[in-house]
Structure 1
């Protein structure tokens, strides 16, 4: 039996549905993703008042979205590790710690980008 994959608009439609399902699952099951989503929802409108150029605005929004991307990847890593087993394994702990570190660096990027743009536009 040959299985054919959807193409064209049907593929886009199904991929979008799966993506929305993943975002919804993360929002419902992960408090950190929920908190970060609300922070993004508050900071995104503020970016219109902080940015002086389209480029600045784009970088500010991209830095916010990067946090959500990293949190989704961190959640995926944690889900896979938890599915693999409940016993302690050093590599499982390392995988979870590295995912958390990725989120931390993404948050640091937000602070650097927003801080730099605020500095340029209001403090210099």
Structure 2
């Protein structure tokens, strides 16, 4: 069996991200939110530590969305008809995305609170 080169492996992974961006509305929403957060972080000159947490939160949400997309595709392939276990698997994967998104929003609120208050001059 022929193994793929490292470059081919990266190409397959990039295709997975492109597929999710092309077909999944929520992935596009997450990507737009990531661009907005990164732009705000750059404009506010956040510290490296704050950048690391933001990038981890962004990565977590987008990775969960990719896993959710993969799981949905596999479930649809294995069980094209409606089945309670298929629904449970899809709902659990969506729940993982939701939890990671809640974490990302909470982390963002904590990270941006002080810099935004300083910008507004209220000091909070």
* Corresponding residue number in structure 2 for 1:69: 63
Indicate if the aligned counterparts of 1:50 and 1:117 stay in contact, CA closer than 8 A: no
Paired with 2:112 and 2:28, the residues of 1 have a C-alpha distance of: 26
Indicate if the aligned counterparts of 1:70 and 1:102 stay in contact, CA closer than 8 A: yes
Paired with 1:77 and 1:101, the residues of 2 have a C-alpha distance of: 12
Paired with 2:81 and 2:16, the residues of 1 have a C-alpha distance of: 27
Specify which of 26, 37, 44 is matched with residue 38 of structure 2.
Answer: 44
Specify which of 96, 106, 112 is matched with residue 106 of structure 2.
Answer: 112
* Corresponding residue number in structure 1 for 2:25: 31
C-alpha displacement of 1:23: 0.9
Specify which of 84, 96, 99 is matched with residue 93 of structure 2.
Answer: 99
More divergent stretch after superposition (81-90 vs 42-51) = 42-51
C-alpha displacement of 1:89: 1.6
Distance 1:50 1:117, change over 3 A: farther
Aligned residues: 118
Indicate the SS of the match to 2:11.
helix
More divergent stretch after superposition (32-41 vs 90-99) = 32-41
Gaps of 5+ in 1: none
Indicate the SS of the match to 2:46.
coil
* Corresponding residue number in structure 2 for 1:15: 9
Indicate if the aligned counterparts of 1:64 and 1:110 stay in contact, CA closer than 8 A: yes
Indicate if the aligned counterparts of 1:74 and 1:103 stay in contact, CA closer than 8 A: yes
**Deviating 4+ runs (over 6 angstroms):** none
Gaps of 5+ in 2: 118-122
